[in-house]
């Protein structure tokens, strides 16, 4: 699993009022999830891993049904004029189904976060205290086109002892329904509650009801485009972890090794432009602009990158086609082969620019100057600050977490790549011998 791509299907990003029927249905669904969560929390790692393998085999065995349902979704999308790129994200061929099943086996191989003792001590009065990782309980995922998220979220949820409520985009409705049916059957076969994995269907009002199911749902994780995230963050009373908005910068400092700068810039922009840890904006110290920009711009353009630049950059572009950047460009996550570029006076101006336009995701400096690197690391406020490395490294897989549920760009609970431990909370266990105050 890798950095979340943005599947900007518009259908879940508006907020509709929840009818009484929506609220009643979501409450009934979430209550069943809570019951399932109580038993999931008590499973051993061996039990959970065995179930994950049963799920993986079931997904493999159902590949034909999954692909057929997926064809249906794509056909429906095509007839409604869905963009090719969206169809690509939606598509699950036999090979992709096998990958999705394998991801469940990979999750089984990861350590169980539940039960980890985070800290503990014996107090002066003899009271023994320890802080232990426990599941969150019920976790809701609201996401867009890519149906592999359906299986990934179920697998990570199960491993971390949580019941999950999945709300995928309507574009993938048939695929998601088959995947969830298959996994629920497999759960029952493995002796676990089917309601460990539930699919929330119905209109937009049901999403609103989910976002308001405080006390029944412990955590909501939206994954998708800015509209979806914003809608969930502002409309929820259930706690939310914001993921995956990345307006990431590469700053080429006066002290940069320009060959490294070139490689990092091109990699950060073009390696996988649709994901949140791709760079959207290039800032160049004016002292190296004349040496760096002409060839860098040409290489980016050759790679198909459309360049939105300030006047100083335009003056150095030579024959490379560029267009004038608007303020809007600097604030935009392109999700594609476009990049904004600006020449800055100094590192202070670069930090100010990032503070103004960045989304606190991943911010890279290229420099051999120790003082500049130290300042960047200390002063840039982001989930990840990188020195002489591509922004593409902010990723659970790259960090060695094995799997990720998204990349958090908020400060509460989780910041940066979210893996299994971030799907848990803790509980204090206090043991005494009749202790009173």
Contact residues: a copy of itself, CB under 8 A: 38, 41-42, 121, 123, 127, 129, 131, 134, 136-137, 214, 218-219, 233-234, 237, 239, 241, 257, 259-260, 263-264, 267-268, 271, 373, 377-379, 381-390, 392-394, 398-400, 410-413, 415-416, 425-437
Q: Tell me how far, at minimum, the Cβ of 242 lies from a copy of itself, in Å.
A: 9
Q: Tell me how far, at minimum, the Cβ of 316 lies from a copy of itself, in Å.
A: 23
| Residue carrying the six token digits 């309507």 | 170
Between residues 225 and 417, which has the closer beta carbon with respect to a copy of itself? Answer: 417
* Alpha-carbon gap, residue 183 to 118, rounded angstroms: 32
Burial 41-57 (b: 16+ CB within 10 A, else e): bebebeebbbbbebbbe
Q: Tell me how far, at minimum, the Cβ of 123 lies from a copy of itself, in Å.
A: 6
Q: Tell me how far, at minimum, the Cβ of 17 lies from a copy of itself, in Å.
A: 16
Between residues 180 and 210, which has the closer beta carbon with respect to a copy of itself? Answer: 210
24-28 contact pairs (CB < 8 A, 24+): 25/202, 25/206, 25/209, 26/200, 26/206, 26/209, 26/210, 26/213, 27/209, 27/213, 27/216
Between residues 9 and 141, which has the closer beta carbon with respect to a copy of itself? Answer: 141
Between residues 126 and 191, which has the closer beta carbon with respect to a copy of itself? Answer: 126
Between residues 78 and 427, which has the closer beta carbon with respect to a copy of itself? Answer: 427
Q: Tell me how far, at minimum, the Cβ of 236 lies from a copy of itself, in Å.
A: 9
Q: What distance, in Å, lies between the first and last C-alpha atoms of the chain?
A: 50
Between residues 171 and 228, which has the closer beta carbon with respect to a copy of itself? Answer: 228
Strands 406-408 and 416-418, sheet pairing:
antiparallel
Query: What single-letter DSSP state applies at residue 215?
Result: T
- Contacts of residue 416, defined as CB under 8 A and 6 or more positions apart, other chains included, come to 383, 384, 394, 399, 407, 408
Q: Tell me how far, at minimum, the Cβ of 393 lies from a copy of itself, in Å.
A: 6
Between residues 59 and 393, which has the closer beta carbon with respect to a copy of itself? Answer: 393
Q: In what order do the strands lie in the sheet with 219-223?
A: 197-199, 163-167, 138-143, 219-223
Residue 240 half-sphere exposure, CB side, CA atoms within 13 Å?
21
Q: Tell me how far, at minimum, the Cβ of 284 lies from a copy of itself, in Å.
A: 17
Between residues 6 and 277, which has the closer beta carbon with respect to a copy of itself? Answer: 277
Q: What angle do CA 351, 356, 358 make, to 5 degrees?
A: 80
Structure tokens at 299: 């290489």
Between residues 169 and 417, which has the closer beta carbon with respect to a copy of itself? Answer: 417
CB atoms within 10 A of CB 72: 14
Q: Tell me how far, at minimum, the Cβ of 250 lies from a copy of itself, in Å.
A: 11
* Alpha-carbon gap, residue 108 to 103, rounded angstroms: 9
Q: Tell me how far, at minimum, the Cβ of 260 lies from a copy of itself, in Å.
A: 4
- Give the residues across from 121 on adjacent strands: 129
Q: Tell me how far, at minimum, the Cβ of 177 lies from a copy of itself, in Å.
A: 30
Between residues 312 and 388, which has the closer beta carbon with respect to a copy of itself? Answer: 388
- Chain length of the chain: 437
- Contacts of residue 402, defined as CB under 8 A and 6 or more positions apart, other chains included, come to 106, 107, 109, 110, 396, 419
């Amino acid at each position: 699993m890798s950095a979340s791509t943005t599947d900007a299907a518009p259908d879940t990003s508006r907020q509709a009022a929840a009818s009484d029927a929506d609220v009643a249905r979501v409450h009934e669904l979430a209550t069943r999830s809570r019951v399932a969560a109580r038993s999931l929390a008590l499973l051993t790692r061996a039990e959970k891993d065995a179930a994950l393998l049963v799920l993986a085999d079931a997904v493999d065995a159902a590949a034909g049904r999954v692909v057929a349902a997926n064809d249906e979704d794509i056909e429906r999308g095509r007839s409604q004029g869905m963009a090719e790129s969206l169809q690509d994200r939606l598509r699950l061929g036999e090979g992709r189904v096998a990958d999705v099943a394998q991801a469940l086996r990979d999750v089984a191989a990861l350590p169980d976060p539940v039960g980890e003792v985070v800290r503990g001590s014996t107090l002066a009065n003899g009271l023994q205290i320890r802080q232990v990782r426990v599941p969150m309980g019920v976790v809701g995922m609201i996401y867009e086109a890519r149906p592999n998220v359906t299986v990934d979220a179920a697998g990570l949820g199960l491993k971390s002892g949580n019941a999950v409520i999945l709300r995928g985009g309507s574009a993938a409705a048939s695929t998601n329904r088959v995947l969830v049916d298959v996994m629920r059957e497999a759960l029952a076969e493995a002796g676990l509650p089917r309601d460990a994995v539930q699919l929330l269907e119905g209109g937009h009002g049901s999403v609103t009801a989910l976002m308001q199911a405080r006390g029944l749902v412990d955590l909501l994780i939206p994954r998708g485009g800015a509209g979806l995230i914003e809608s969930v963050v502002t409309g929820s009373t259930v706690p939310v972890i914001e993921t995956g908005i990345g307006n990431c910068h590469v700053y080429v400092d006066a002290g940069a090794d320009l060959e490294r700068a070139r490689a990092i810039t091109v990699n950060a922009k073009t390696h996988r432009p649709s994901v949140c840890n791709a760079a959207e904006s290039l800032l160049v110290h004016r002292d190296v602009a004349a040496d760096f920009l002409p060839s860098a711009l040409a290489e980016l353009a050759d790679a198909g990158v459309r360049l939105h630049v300030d006047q100083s950059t335009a003056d150095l572009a030579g024959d490379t086609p560029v267009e004038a950047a608007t303020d809007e460009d600097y604030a935009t996550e392109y999700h594609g082969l476009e990049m904004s570029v600006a020449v800055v006076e100094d590192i202070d101006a670069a930090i100010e620019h990032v503070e103004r336009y960045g989304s606190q995701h991943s911010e890279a400096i290229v420099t051999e100057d120790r003082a500049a690197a130290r300042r960047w690391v200390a002063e840039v406020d982001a989930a990840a600050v990188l020195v002489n490395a591509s922004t593409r490294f902010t990723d659970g897989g790259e960090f060695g977490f094995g799997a990720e549920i998204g990349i958090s760009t908020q400060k509460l609970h989780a910041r940066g790549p979210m893996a299994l431990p971030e799907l848990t909370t803790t509980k204090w266990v206090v043991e005494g011998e009749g202790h009173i105050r």
